[in-house]
Structure 1
């Protein structure tokens, strides 16, 4: 299901229709993304397991808990990036977490900024969230610059925050406050 398009991309809800393309994306970027993600065993990359994770995420999407999206170059089918809005909290908090990745061959072209800009607007409109939180490793300058360009503000520094690539690592904590609707 296409959610929206940007100038250069088409953006879709990640559904089982994209399981094979998503598997290709994950496998093609396995080594590139490894320093930024939890350890992934071989089972993580098996199509049936990917389909099961997607099925669970779609169920959680319908429950209003998350939004997992993928994007392609306009009019193409190959996935070149992934954006995850997770852990939606409503009520007095109205917030979620943001995670994102892009294919190594498409990095540095402004595509992630282009898609994130519209994706954040989409989440704000659809879910009326007030705060989007995104954290990154201290030495991940690309993520830092992308978040800064979108208006995210550094709010803190968390020691030993997440176990990334098998090691507990510090993270820079950032947030974007969205205007009230």
Structure 2
């Protein structure tokens, strides 16, 4: 099993992956206020595309629980969560991560991301996806990364196709989004695609 942090560590490592406009790194307790303010300001923008938010979703305590859970996921090679920051200002602009890491004969994971309303359509998400893929295929040694989006989410489909994902199928009632089971379009990219320069 790949372990990027040792047993007993309470937060993910101080890992940072840099791009031209953004960088990604695991969330830290000091990020709570920026994260919560951006999520609150973007609530109406994000709710149609995400699982239902619990009542305490944006509290400091909920953020601390989130970080503890993420640290455990890093330790167990189960999932890898990052926040996305604008270079220079170091403002939180969104989040991105890998979940459901499968080893053995699969060597794959699922990717998800979000971006705050003020930072949408500025290329930040596409760059964050490229950074995450470099981490997934490089440090984690994965073979395949999958992603899914609602059929009506054209901006997300555009991001995935721009960075080299291939549309592979259509899944009915795939995930529960905004408290309803929703169909999704399925995408994937292979390490060989990435190595060949697709979307880079």
What runs of 5+ residues in structure 2 fail to find an aligned partner?
Answer: 1-13, 196-200
User: Which residue, out of 16, 29, 41, partners 2:42?
Assistant: 29
What runs of 5+ residues in structure 1 fail to find an aligned partner?
Answer: none
TM-score calculated relative to the size of structure 2 = 0.85
Q: In the alignment, what sits opposite 2:170?
A: 157
Which structure shows the bigger proportion of residues in helix conformation? Answer: 1
User: Which residue, out of 150, 153, 163, partners 1:140?
Assistant: 153
Q: CA deviation at 1:64?
A: 1.5
Q: CA deviation at 1:32?
A: 0.8
Distance in structure 1 (CA, Å) of the matches to 2:98 and 2:28: 15
Q: RMSD in angstroms over aligned alpha carbons?
A: 1.7
Q: CA deviation at 1:2?
A: 4.5
User: Which residue, out of 103, 113, 117, partners 1:104?
Assistant: 117
Which structure shows the bigger proportion of residues in strand conformation? Answer: 1
Distance in structure 1 (CA, Å) of the matches to 2:145 and 2:28: 23
SS of 1:45's equivalent in the other structure is coil
Q: In the alignment, what sits opposite 2:189?
A: 176
TM-score calculated relative to the size of structure 1 = 0.93
Distance in structure 2 (CA, Å) of the matches to 1:131 and 1:58: 23
Distance in structure 1 (CA, Å) of the matches to 2:96 and 2:149: 14
Distance in structure 2 (CA, Å) of the matches to 1:62 and 1:22: 23
8 A Cα contact 1:14 1:58, kept in partner? no
8 A Cα contact 1:15 1:55, kept in partner? no
8 A Cα contact 1:162 1:171, kept in partner? yes
Q: CA deviation at 1:24?
A: 2.0
8 A Cα contact 1:11 1:71, kept in partner? yes
Q: Tell me the number of residue pairs that the alignment of Structure 1 and Structure 2 aligns.
A: 181
Tell whether 2:72 aligns with 1:59: yes
